[in-house]
Amino acid sequence: MIFLDNASTTRVFDEVVKRINSTYTEDYFNPSATYDKGMAASALIECSRQTVATALNAKKSEIFFTSCATESNNWALNCAFKNKKGNAVVSAGEHACVYETAKHLKDSGYDVRFAPLNNDGSVNIDALVDLVDGKTNYVSVIHVSNETGVINDLGRISTLVKAKNPRTLIHSDGVQAFLKTDCDLRRLGVDLYSISGHKIGAPKGVGALFVKSSVHIAPYLFGGGQESGMRSGTENVGGIVGLGAAIGEFSKVYDAAKVKKLYLRLLNELNKIEGVKIIGDTERNTGLICCLSVPGVRAETLQSVMADDGVYIGRGSACSSHHSGNRVLENMGLKKDEVSGAVRISLSPLTSEEEVDTACKALCKNIKDLRGYQVG
Ligand code: PLP
């Protein structure tokens, strides 16, 4: 089996599984308990918090653990924007968990403006800045697109937005960016940033929200006062420990030069296949996500025949793959048949050249078969 849908989720590192298991069988105590074993569980959480903070160049007190990035993003939009008057500017390239939350707020009467994308998949910065005015208190731009791997220039966006309105908060969904491109949040000028564990070899069910210390955001869940009173609920100690451990394991295997070489090899092989169109900017890209389209071939059919060959590829965001169309690709200006023929190959730092070559051979064969079938 060759798994090339790592943007949807990843295999948990063996070392991470080991660490998590001990939190279920040995260090299973409630971190709020005031006896020594409870305090030891709490110390494990704080250790992971420091690891996340260091990876983002943040302070430990700025990191809040959540159940997933969907929660982090909902929290950010609902509690940093919703309670205030003014407007929000959100990029059209957001993952559903930001886009649908923003759309829900708009449908409920809030002033939410959507900034269009360029054909290369990046947000149109000029159009975005034009939408910002003196009443804008929130801007949300995905750091790395889960559809195309394209990196948005957060540093430039935050500088231009804050020059126009210094009170505007900059929020970014960093799920596909975390550890895969520069995530120095101080340098990028970001106020709120979401990450998810299961995209970097940690288990599903754990995420985090960075909230800059100068930013006031309302608590999301009320109750026992965990996470400094910001997100109540007994902590997912296993998940949080797993997230911290995965950061260490991912950093050991991630090699930017190796990823770039592999990505170029993939692009080179794909460009040889007749009928394939590469979607999005391949220069400003993490090199871990490649969106390609085969107009005239249905993506779900291609995905299915590839799986029959033991090669697993994606089809846009896994969470939205049951919906028809693709909001992000449509916003990039792709034609209908390009959208319906779009699949996503996403690599991991552990993907080998042989796996890429085998996958491309299978793609070539299947595309040839399907095009022949559909044309003739
Ligand atoms: N944001 C992006 C860019 C994603 O790719 C995903 C997952 O596909 C999410 C948010 C949602 O993350 P989670 O599964 O942790 O809720």
Quote the CA–CA distance of 348 and 312 in Å, as a whole number: 13
User: Is 373's pLDDT higher than 60?
Assistant: yes
In a shared domain, residues 264 and 282: yes
Other CB atoms within 10 Å distance of the CB of residue 83: 11
What single string gives the DSSP state of each residue in 115-174? Answer: EPBPTTSSB-HHHHHHH--TTEEEEE--SB-TTT-BBP-HHHHHHHHHHH-TT-EEEEE-
Q: Which atom of ligand 1 is nearest to the CA of 8?
A: 8
**Minimal-distance CA residue to ligand 1 atom 7:** 8
Q: How far apart are CA 342 and CA 117, in angstroms?
A: 17
CA distance 313 to 343: 7
Percentage of residues in the chain having pLDDT higher than 90: 94
- The pLDDT, as a whole number, for residue 322 is 59
* Per-residue pLDDT tens digits for 192-218: 999 999 999 999 999 999 999 999 999
Query: How many Å apart are CA 222 and CA 224, to the nearest integer?
Result: 7
Cβ proximity of 237 and 23 under 8 Å: yes
Q: What is the CA radius of gyration of the chain?
A: 21
Question: Residue 334's domain spans which residues?
Answer: 2-10+255-375
| Position 314 pLDDT exceeds 50 | yes
Tell me: do 192 and 304 sit in the same domain.
Answer: no
Is there a catalytic annotation at residue 319? yes
Say whether pLDDT at 376 is over 50: no
Q: Could you read off the pLDDT of 61-112 as tens digits, one per residue?
A: 999 999 999 999 999 999 988 767 899 999 999 999 999 999 999 999 999 9
Q: Is 140 in the pocket of ligand 1 (CB under 6 A)?
A: no
Q: How confident is the model at residue 327 (pLDDT cuts 50, 70, 90)?
A: very high
Taking residues 286-290, report their average pLDDT.
Answer: 98
On the question of pLDDT at 276 being above 80, the answer is yes
Which residue bears the tokens 């051979």?
Answer: 361
- Whether 319 lines ligand 1, by a CB cut-off of 6 Å, is yes
Mean pLDDT on 107-134: 97
User: How remote is the CA of residue 9 from the centroid of ligand 1, in Å?
Assistant: 9
**200 vs 62, 214, 234, 236, 325, CA distance in Å?**
21, 28, 23, 17, 28
Do 59 and 38 belong to one domain? yes
Residue 319 reports pLDDT greater than 90? no
Same domain assignment for residues 50 and 178: yes
Residues 119 and 162 in one domain: yes
- Decide if pLDDT at 45 tops 50: yes
Q: Is 34 in the same domain as 148?
A: yes
**CA–CA gap between residue 372 and residue 365 (Å, rounded):** 11
Residues 31 and 178 in one domain: yes
Q: Please check whether residues 280 and 223 belong to one and the same domain.
A: no
238 and 285 in a single domain? The answer is no
User: Which of 186, 216, 251 is the endpoint of a domain?
Assistant: 251
- How many domains are contained in the chain? 2
276 and 212 both lie in a single domain: no
